[in-house]
């Protein structure tokens, strides 16, 4: 294995010990003085770097870049594409490169360089060491062209005298290899002595006895040659002077001395005191100390030797970093031919007198001393390779490197005393546009010394910030009826980027046809006239887009609220409101609600109502529109009220409108049935025993008739329509006596029928006999409850068996219970049929009184003159009412005044019917009333005749609703019957009504 192979093997081993992802090392050996473009090595080949991307299989474009210091003349160059290393036109001179150094081996002269492989994701740092081998380009030279040697005349044959050695800057075989004595005249010969350090010292050999008296001077030449190819040599004149004899040499106590002295030792400091002795006496014993011929001139400049005392002192400031070891040869001569020799090794010890050195080599080439980075550059982007060094040694030469302040950069150690400056985080141009920081190198000496290097970095902007609106939602307000082109606002967005990346244009989004937006200035104007009643709010977006590549944008929402102006008058839902109320409605009750709207808003919409011409019959709430009565209604006195209502809004100036209101008073069944016959509760009729069944024995003339008590034998029957009381069977002698029939008379009034009880006394006998006796019996019956029978003869109280009475009462009660049960079943069936019929009518439009029928004159009720008619015609209602008197218990008593004078049958007081406001439906509220109100019901006025073509249909609705009304025609005729009388006779088993006295 030759030397080159050894070096390559060492380089490979060193590379294996490094992190290939960060740094690797190569070692090459070249010879000095090579011409330009001589290949030195191939980085990818020598490091086995593949140009193929393992992930994609495609060729990767790698860039090889030599990291050089600004101002340096590069000795080699690197191909950026192939990674090959070549020599340059700059001469590689080993002697200049390693001047002043002494090398024991050829490979100790070298220089180093760094190469980086880019891009960043493939980054590698290659440290290259180039060993410069010597070329024989220098000839060996003697210290002086003339060499003088003095030899005593009594010198013995084969005595040797040293000749100053020649020096050659080349090394190895190219250095001094051979000496030759020319023209030695056979008196002198030449011998070469090789020192342990490898130096060759020539010595002159005396081959013959000398005689100064015969010849005191010999002149010869000495030639020196090196071992290079071609071989180089030089000569010097060697002049030998034969001197007088001094046969004793001085002797040093120590021939090898080593001393240490700090490099900051002041001038004049003693280094060492040498001492030699001589056995001679006199002048031959006088010793002079001199530097030997091998002492370098530089060493002689630093140290002084006292010729007499042998004291070595410092005569110039020392610098360990320049020369750490000085070897001094001191000769002690007494004038004889062979002086004594002593070697002094002076070790200059280190003092921390050198600050660290920072060698900053940029990977990204600076421009005018500033490195430019893009803010989109990734983390760990390499900026520079920094090498720190210190000429001092040990602790004084241990250097640490750091960045002076907190910046988004850091130093990554790759070798001892070598760092990569790279980014430590993402950069943000908008945060900081420029960085200026110092890199500090500090040693560990005491006191510590440091050095700084200034780094300037400027960022280049990237379009990485979208425009930002100051408000994400922009709210504006504008009055309606504006002019076109009205300025609304200026929309503004900001962009943290710079240059064209911060140039913003504005654009309207959809639903913004009523607006114009200047793309450059952001001025928003109205392109149309706004009408708040048509649209009160506009919501659209505005886009702000910059001019970067690619462009970025953002949006803001714009809400424009149109403010109201009083440009609309109040509007009634109907020009004519009609309300229907019951005549029994209490004073101050609600009779209707006026509905008015205003398309404006706010105060312009606040409507106040007032009555114009009512004479204070009604009170109108100015805000809610509720109309309340200020009179007690009586349809018989006044059937309708009409007045105007005015609505005024709160705008400036105010607007107003009017509407007509009609209050129709509806009839209520507030009069109990009037009994025309019998004329009083104390009259009676004679029923002869000869009367045949079916014959009319008495008449009750009113409306609806029912015998509720006194007919326990079933002897009599009353026609529920005509009121005629007929015999069911022929009377027998057992039936002779006074019979009291309790007859219930009920009308068909709304909202509740009224009842009247009347007593019909029938005296069964052939003749009336004593009328006073009969009247006395009648008076006595007044003390008997109505639900009990009074007897069967002229003396019912004496002849009636108590047990029979009890049995009759129990039987009557059972009959009543059965009748109630049957009646309930019948009514339930009727109710279900009625509800089904009503549901089928819910889809139909609700009706108010037929306006056309109002023109028909009201027919006067015909007064009943005599109970001649046995059949009456009535208006019928399909559904029987649960409050019918048939179902009410008998709870009345008859009390007569002291005088048995006839009194007319009184009217029953309507005390149980609640006041009700009747309100007809309007076309626009019909659906609401159908769903939220009770089932409709049709009622006829009970106290007036009703014509065939004229009907009053009313609807009861909740009082808390708003009602509007007006006259409208019904879609079809109502179901009617010819009415000759206004009452039904009905059978009832229970009563709560008192008996009218007359």
Which tens digit of pLDDT belongs to each residue from 789-813?
775 334 443 344 456 667 778 888 8
Sign of the C-alpha dihedral, residues 864, 870, 873, 877? positive
Confirm whether pTM is higher than 0.85: no
Between 6 and 183, whose confidence is greater? 183
* Cα gap 995→755, rounded to integer Å: 9
- SS3 category, 410: strand
Please give the pLDDT value at position 565.
Answer: 92
- pLDDT tier at 723, thresholds 50, 70, 90: confident
For 628-641, how does the pLDDT look when each residue is reduced to its tens digit (9 = 90+)?
Answer: 999 888 888 889 99
Average pLDDT over residues 363-373: 91
Report CA-CA distances (Å) from 897 to 676, 679, 902, 908, 997. 20, 16, 10, 19, 9
Q: Which fold has domain 468-563?
A: Immunoglobulin-like (2.60.40)
* Cα gap 48→51, rounded to integer Å: 10
Q: Which fold has domain 684-783?
A: Immunoglobulin-like (2.60.40)
Report CA-CA distances (Å) from 653 to 534, 623, 658, 663. 22, 19, 17, 32
For 724-766, how does the pLDDT look when each residue is reduced to its tens digit (9 = 90+)?
Answer: 888 888 888 888 888 888 888 877 766 677 778 888 888 888 7
Please give the pLDDT value at position 926.
Answer: 30
* Cα gap 938→974, rounded to integer Å: 10
- pLDDT tier at 297, thresholds 50, 70, 90: confident
What is the share, in percent, of the chain residues with pLDDT greater than 70?
75
* Cα gap 326→320, rounded to integer Å: 10
Quick check: 134 and 105 in contact, CB under 8 A?
no
Q: Which of 46-50, 244-248, 936-940 has the highest mean pLDDT?
A: 46-50
* Cα gap 100→615, rounded to integer Å: 136
Please give the pLDDT value at position 671.
Answer: 67
Chain centre to alpha carbon of residue 74:
58
In degrees and rounded to multiples of 5, residue 839 shows phi and psi of -60, -35
For the chain, the average pLDDT equals: 77
pLDDT of residue 100 exceeding 70, the answer is no
Domain locations in the chain as residue ranges: 25-133, 146-243, 251-349, 357-460, 468-563, 571-666, 684-783
Quick check: 131 and 7 in contact, CB under 8 A?
yes
Q: Which residues contact 496 (CB under 8 A, 6 or more apart)?
A: 430, 465, 468, 502
For 317-362, how does the pLDDT look when each residue is reduced to its tens digit (9 = 90+)?
Answer: 988 888 889 999 999 988 776 788 899 999 999 888 889 999 999 9
Q: Which CATH architecture has domain 25-133?
A: Sandwich (2.60)
Please give the pLDDT value at position 657.
Answer: 95
Place of tokens 């149309």: 528
Q: Which residues contact 755 (CB under 8 A, 6 or more apart)?
A: 672, 673, 744, 745, 746, 885, 888, 908, 988, 991, 993
In this structure, of 359-368, 670-679, 842-851, the range with the lowest mean pLDDT score is 842-851
Taking Cα atoms as reference points, which of 911, 921, 844 lies closest to residue 580? 921
In degrees and rounded to multiples of 5, residue 639 shows phi and psi of -90, -15
Q: Which CATH architecture has domain 251-349?
A: Sandwich (2.60)
Please identify, in words, the CATH class of the domain defined by 571-666.
Answer: mainly beta
| Superfamily for domain range 357-460 | Cadherins (2.60.40.60)
Taking Cα atoms as reference points, which of 761, 984, 802, 728 lies closest to residue 881? 984
Please give the pLDDT value at position 833.
Answer: 57
The answer to whether domain 146-243 and domain 684-783 are alike in fold is: yes
Average pLDDT over residues 852-865: 38
* Cα gap 90→36, rounded to integer Å: 8
Please give the pLDDT value at position 322.
Answer: 84
Please give the pLDDT value at position 704.
Answer: 64
Q: Which CATH architecture has domain 146-243?
A: Sandwich (2.60)
């Amino acid at each position: 294995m030759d030397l080159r192979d050894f070096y390559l093997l060492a380089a490979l081993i060193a590379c294996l010990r490094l992190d290939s992802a960060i740094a690797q090392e190569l070692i090459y050996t070249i010879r000095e003085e090579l011409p330009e473009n001589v290949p030195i090595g191939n980085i990818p080949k020598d490091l086995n770097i593949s140009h193929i991307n393992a992930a994609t299989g495609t060729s990767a474009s790698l860039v090889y870049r030599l990291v050089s210091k600004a101002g340096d003349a590069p000795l080699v160059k690197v191909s950026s594409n192939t990674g090959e290393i070549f020599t340059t036109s700059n001469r590689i001179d080993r002697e200049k490169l390693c001047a002043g150094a002494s090398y024991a081996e050829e490979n100790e002269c070298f220089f180093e360089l760094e190469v980086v492989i880019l891009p960043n994701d493939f980054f590698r740092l290659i440290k290259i060491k180039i060993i410069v081998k010597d070329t024989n380009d220098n000839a060996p030279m003697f210290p002086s062209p003339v060499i003088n040697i003095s030899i005593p005349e009594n010198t013995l044959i084969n005595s040797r005298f040293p000749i100053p050695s020649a020096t050659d800057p080349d090394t190895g075989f190219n250095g001094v290899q051979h000496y030759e004595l020319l023209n030695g005249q056979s008196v002198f010969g030449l011998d070469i002595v090789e020192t342990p350090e490898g130096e060759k010292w020539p010595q002159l050999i005396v081959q013959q006895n000398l005689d100064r008296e015969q010849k005191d001077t010999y002149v010869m030449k000495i030639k020196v040659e090196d071992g290079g190819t071609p071989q180089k040599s030089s000569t010097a004149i060697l002049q030998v002077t034969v001197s007088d004899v001094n046969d004793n040499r001085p002797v040093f106590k120590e021939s090898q001395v080593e001393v240490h002295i700090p490099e900051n030792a002041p001038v004049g400091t003693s280094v060492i005191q040498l001492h030699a002795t001589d056995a001679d006496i006199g002048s031959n014993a006088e010793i002079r100390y001199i530097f030997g011929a091998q002492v370098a001139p530089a060493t002689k400049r630093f140290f002084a030797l006292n010729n007499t005392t042998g004291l070595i002192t410092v005569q110039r400031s020392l610098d360990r970093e320049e020369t750490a070891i000085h070897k001094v040869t001191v000769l002690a001569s007494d004038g004889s031919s062979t002086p004594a020799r002593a070697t002094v090794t002076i070790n200059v010890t280190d003092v921390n007198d050198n600050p660290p050195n920072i060698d900053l080599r940029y990977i990204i080439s600076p421009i005018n001393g500033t490195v430019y980075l893009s803010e989109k550059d990734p983390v760990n982007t390499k900026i520079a390779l920094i090498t720190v060094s210190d000429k001092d040694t040990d602790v004084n030469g241990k250097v640490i490197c750091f960045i002076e302040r907190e910046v988004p950069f850091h130093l990554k150690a790759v070798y001892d005393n070598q760092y990569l400056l790279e980014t430590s985080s993402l950069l943000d141009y908008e945060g900081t546009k420029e960085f200026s920081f110092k890199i500090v190198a500090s040693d560990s000496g005491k006191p510590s010394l440091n050095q700084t290097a200034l780094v300037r970095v400027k960022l280049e902007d990237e379009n990485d910030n979208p425009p930002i609106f100051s408000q994400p939602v922009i709210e504006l307000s504008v009055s309606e009826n504006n002019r076109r082109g009205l300025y609304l606002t200026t929309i503004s967005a900001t962009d943290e980027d710079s240059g064209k990346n911060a140039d913003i244009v504005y654009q309207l989004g959809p639903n913004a046809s009523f607006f114009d937006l200047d793309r450059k200035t952001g001025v928003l104007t109205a392109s149309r006239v706004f009408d708040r009643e048509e649209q009160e709010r506009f919501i659209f977006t505005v886009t702000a887009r910059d001019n970067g590549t690619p462009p970025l944008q953002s949006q803001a929402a714009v809400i424009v609220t149109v403010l109201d102006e009083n440009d609309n008058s109040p509007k009634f839902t109907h020009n004519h409101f009609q309300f229907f109320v019951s005549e029994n409605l209490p004073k101050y009750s609600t009779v209707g609600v006026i509905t008015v709207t205003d398309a404006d808003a706010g105060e312009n919409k606040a409507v106040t109502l007032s009555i114009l011409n009512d004479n204070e019959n009604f009170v109108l709430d100015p805000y809610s529109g509720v109309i309340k009565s200020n009179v007690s209604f009586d349809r018989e006195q006044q059937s309708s009220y009409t007045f105007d209502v005015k609505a005024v809004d709160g705008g400036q100036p105010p607007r107003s409108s009017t509407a007509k209101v009609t209050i129709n008073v509806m009839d209520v069944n507030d009069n109990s049935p009037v009994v025309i016959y019998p004329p009083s509760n104390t009259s009676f009729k004679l029923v002869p025993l000869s009367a045949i069944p079916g014959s009319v024995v008495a008449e009750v003339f009113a409306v609806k008739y029912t015998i509720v008590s006194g007919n326990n034998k079933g002897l009599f029957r009353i026609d529920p329509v005509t009121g005629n009381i007929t015999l069911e069977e022929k009377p027998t002698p057992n039936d002779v006596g006074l019979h009291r029939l309790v007859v219930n008379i009920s009308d068909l009034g709304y909202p509740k029928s009224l009842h009247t009880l009347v007593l019909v006394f029938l005296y069964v006998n052939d003749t009336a006999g004593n009328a006073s006796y009969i009247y006395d019996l009648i008076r006595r019956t007044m003390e008997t409850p109505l639900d009990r029978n009074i007897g069967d003869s002229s003396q019912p109280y004496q002849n009636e068996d108590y047990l029979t009475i009890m049995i009759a009462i129990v039987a009557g009660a059972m009959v009543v219970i059965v009748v109630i049960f049957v009646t309930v079943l019948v009514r339930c069936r009727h109710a279900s049929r009625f509800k089904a019929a009503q549901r089928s009518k819910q889809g139909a439009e609700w009706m108010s009184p037929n306006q056309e029928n109002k023109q028909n004159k009201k027919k006067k009720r015909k007064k009943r003159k005599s109970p001649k008619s046995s059949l009456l015609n009535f208006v019928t209602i399909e559904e029987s009412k649960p409050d019918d008197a048939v179902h009410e218990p008998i709870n009345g008593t008859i009390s007569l005044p002291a005088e048995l004078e006839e009194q007319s049958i009184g009217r029953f007081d309507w005390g149980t019917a609640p006041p009700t406001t009747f309100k007809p439906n309007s076309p626009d509220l019909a659906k609401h009333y159908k769903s939220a109100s009770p089932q409709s019901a049709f009622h006829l006025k009970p106290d007036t005749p009703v014509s065939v073509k004229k009907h009053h249909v009313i609807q009861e609705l909740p009082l808390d609703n708003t009602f509007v009304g007006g006259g409208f025609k019904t879609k079809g005729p109502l179901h009617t019957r010819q009415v000759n009388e206004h009452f039904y006779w009905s059978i009832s088993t229970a009563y709560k009504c008192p008996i009218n006295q007359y």
